[in-house]
Amino acid sequence: MISCTEFIPSYSLLFTWLENKVDYDEVVRYWEYLGRISTGKLEAAVKEKGLFGCWEYWKAALNEEAADFVMEIHINEDGTGYLASDMRYCPSMGRLLEYDHFEPHHDYCAHCDVIYPIVLDKYGIRSAPRTLDVQRAACAISLHMDEPPAPEVAAAGWQAALKELENAEAEAITAWVD
Amino acid sequence: MLHLRMDRRASDNVYLHKDFHNALNLAIQYLSDNFGEEGVKDYLRFFARNYYSILKADLMQRGLIALEEHYRKIYDLEGGDVTIERTEDPDELTITVRVCPAVEHIRKLGTPLAPNYEWTTSVVHETICEDTPWRAEFSNWDPQTGASIQRFVRKEAKK
């Protein structure tokens, strides 16, 4: 079994294999395939709760990946708002930089820019251009819900956000309302 | 407006994102659909030759204890229902998987298992054993549970 803790090297080496076998465009086609079929959890969360679904999805994923990050969400009752993520040390790129027995794919970080907007755009969530410092395995991104989603989506997101507010102290989350 | 801020250091959590098992499963599906069985094998060999080169060097230096330690560490972390056995023969290692944590998680997500998913074990093991005194055997595969029997033995030894 290839452990899930060994997935990132397998992922990066797959990009390299695809590029060697075909070309860079094939790597992008693979990312587009992932954007269509591998984002089920994210899509379910966003479909139900709008922007707050992004908070729930990345809160779970980034903690499981032991990322070094700050993530903030600023959300209105009508569902508009934004989420900002400051990845101080990406657990994926960071690992790849630590290996010295194989080369990471030269454009490894670009997969995030292709995969996630495919699903987020469908639900009116705009991805702002990402700032990237590959050699430090750091990046920053923000996601914006500029227009209110359907009222039931806004309500579900707001209720979930209020629940998170109640549990914030127990989860070491800083929270406030104004 | 409601504001939430989460600040986490890497040391706050254990690195164990099991959805990555499904990500590998989807990779195998993509390769199978677009490059056929030989593409799947070729990629797995490419991955194993690159990523496991250090493990292979350790295998050559210390023998099967290197693989034993590698897999004990992985299954201790990942769980599943697995027995790793050594006999008095230092050139024999058997990993009996009754429930594979990777297949268990993929099934839990409801994703179909890619064709030849088991090659992520069998082809990888064969590749690690290339040009070593050992060979890898793989049998009793059950795609529902991921059960299998994985053996490493001396090339000249009887099965």
CA distance A165 to chain B (A): 7
Domain membership of residue A3 (yes or no) is: no
What are the tens digits of pLDDT across the range A155-165? 999 999 999 99
Q: For B127, phi and psi rounded to 5 degrees?
A: -70, -40
> Where do the DSSP E strands lie in B51-146?
81-86, 92-99, 134-142
- Mean pLDDT in residue range A107-117: 96
User: Rounded to the nearest 10 degrees, how much is the dihedral formed by the CA atoms of B91, B63, B118, B24?
Assistant: 170
Question: Which structural domain, as residue segments, surrounds residue A126?
Answer: 8-167
Tens-digit pLDDT profile for residues A78-99: 999 999 999 999 999 999 999 9
Q: Is B38 on the interface with A (CB under 8 A)?
A: no
pLDDT at B34: 98
pLDDT reading at B159 higher than 60? no
- For B66, phi then psi, to 5°, come to -65, -45
Distance between CA atoms of B103 and B112, rounded to whole angstroms? Answer: 10
Query: Any CB–CB contact under 8 A between A117 and chain B?
Result: no
Q: Is CATH 3.30.1380.20 correct for B18-154?
A: yes
In chain A, the percentage of residues whose pLDDT exceeds 70 is: 100
Q: Do A1 and B100 lie within an 8 Å CB cutoff?
A: yes
How many domains in chain A? 1
pTM given for the model = 0.93
| ipTM > 0.85 (yes/no) | yes
pLDDT computed for residue B156 by the predictor? 79
B residues 53-92 near A, CB within 8 Å? 53-54, 74-75, 77-78
